[in-house]
Amino acid sequence: MNSRSDLVRATVWARELAGDEVERALRGVSERNFSKGSYLCHRGDRLDYWTGAVTGLVKMSSIARSGKAITFAGIGAGGWFGEGSVLKDEPRKYDLVAIRDTHLLMMNRATFFWLYENSVGFNRFLVRLLNERLAQFIASTEYERLLDPKARVARHLSWLCNPVLCPDVKGVVEITQEELALLAGVSRPVANRSLQVLADEGLVTVEHSRVIVADAERLGDYGA
Q: What does the pLDDT look like over 147-198, one tens digit per residue?
A: 788 988 999 999 999 999 999 998 999 999 999 998 888 899 999 999 999 9
Residue 141 within any structural domain of the chain: no
Residue 126 within any structural domain of the chain: no
- Residue 82 — left, alpha, or beta (φ > 0 → left; ψ -120 to 50 → alpha)? left
So what's the pLDDT on residue 143? 61
So what's the pLDDT on residue 144? 61
Are residues 157 and 111 part of one domain?
no
Q: Which residues contact 91 (CB under 8 A, 6 or more apart)?
A: 43, 44, 45, 46, 85
Are residues 35 and 105 part of one domain?
yes
Pairwise CA distance, residues 113 & 20, whole Å: 15
The count of structural domains within the chain is 2
Positions of the chain with pLDDT lower than 70, given as ranges: 1, 141-146, 224
Pairwise CA distance, residues 48 & 81, whole Å: 12
CB atoms within 10 A of CB 178: 14
Q: What is the CATH number of the domain that holds 17?
A: 2.60.120.10
Concatenated DSSP letters for 121-135?
HHHHHHHHHHHHHHH
* Residue 196 CB-half CA count within 13 A: 6
Taking CA atoms, 217 is separated from 28, 71, 90, 103, 224, in Å, by: 36, 21, 34, 28, 12
Q: What is the CATH number of the domain that holds 194?
A: 1.10.10.10
So what's the pLDDT on residue 189? 95
Asked whether the beta carbons of 94 and 45 are under 8 A apart, the reply is no
So what's the pLDDT on residue 224? 64
Are residues 2 and 91 part of one domain?
yes
Phi, psi for residue 216 in degrees, rounded to 5: -65, -35
Q: Tell me how many degrees the CA angle 28-56-160 measures, rounded to the nearest 5.
A: 100
Are residues 84 and 10 part of one domain?
yes
Pairwise CA distance, residues 36 & 24, whole Å: 32
Are residues 155 and 80 part of one domain?
no
- The parent domain of residue 3 ranges over 1-118
The pTM is what?
0.85
So what's the pLDDT on residue 146? 61
